[in-house]
A and B are shown apart, each in its own frame.
Chain A
């Protein structure tokens, strides 16, 4: 299994509070991704990173920000959580970009509930 951990694994928070999710990898992979998974929508890309301090938006980036200060850590922040951000969040990593032949490997996920 790819060395990817996510923390916390479960979180319940209230509307309007800030939330930060952490993804940590031990594979030294360049690319890291944040997805959310919701019933009826499947997995959707939120943000991704192609190196330290290099990030870009995905399909559903509104309301989210990210940071990557070290190769191994990729943080996802909900500045002011809303109920629509209740979801399961997955981090993924790959050696090269998704445009190539490289595979993305997924972390165990974080289940976030915003009340």
Chain B
């Protein structure tokens, strides 16, 4: 069974600090990964996508992918209360169409 694992949290981070979210996956074939943010009662919204080993930065967000370790992370710098949400890691595992999602990490930014 191809899986994506995330710590469900909650992860509590002070406002202005760096929030670090982690994800591991079980399929060495996967070529791309996506981080989605989901506010309570809303649909998932794409934050970052990453396709190659290394770091990818977009504003306050940095995604990191290590295919050898099957590990992907999301760093949020200068965390804001509006960043409080559930963050979902997802990848196309097992050679199939569609994404396999982790269960999500609940992030709380404390003012």
Contacts and interface: CB of A to CB of B under 8 A. Distances in A.
B103 A40 contact: yes
A45 B100 CA distance: 8
B88 A99 contact: no
A95 interface: no
Categorize the interface residue count of chain B: 20 to 34
A42 B101 contact: yes
Interface string A94-115: 0001111101111111000000
Contacts of A40: 103
A48 interface: yes
Contacts of B97: 31, 33, 48, 50, 56, 97-99
A90 B97 CA distance: 16
A103 B102 contact: no
A99 B91 CA distance: 9
B101 to A, nearest CB: 4
Contacts of A18: none
Contact of B88 (A43, A45, A56, A103): A43
Nearest to A107: B43
Interface string B21-34: 00000000001101
Contact of A101 (B49, B90, B102): B49
B43 A99 contact: no
A33 B43 CA distance: 14
A35 B43 CA distance: 11
Interface in B69-111: 88, 90, 92, 95-104
A99 B51 CA distance: 11
A58 B44 contact: no
Interface in A51-99: 56, 58-59, 90, 97-99
A33 to B, nearest CB: 6
Given A43-B99, A99-B92, 9 more contacts: A31-B97, A40-B103, A43-B88, A43-B101, A45-B100, A98-B92, A98-B97, A99-B31, A99-B97
Interface of B: 31-32, 34, 36, 42-46, 49, 51, 88, 90, 92, 95-104
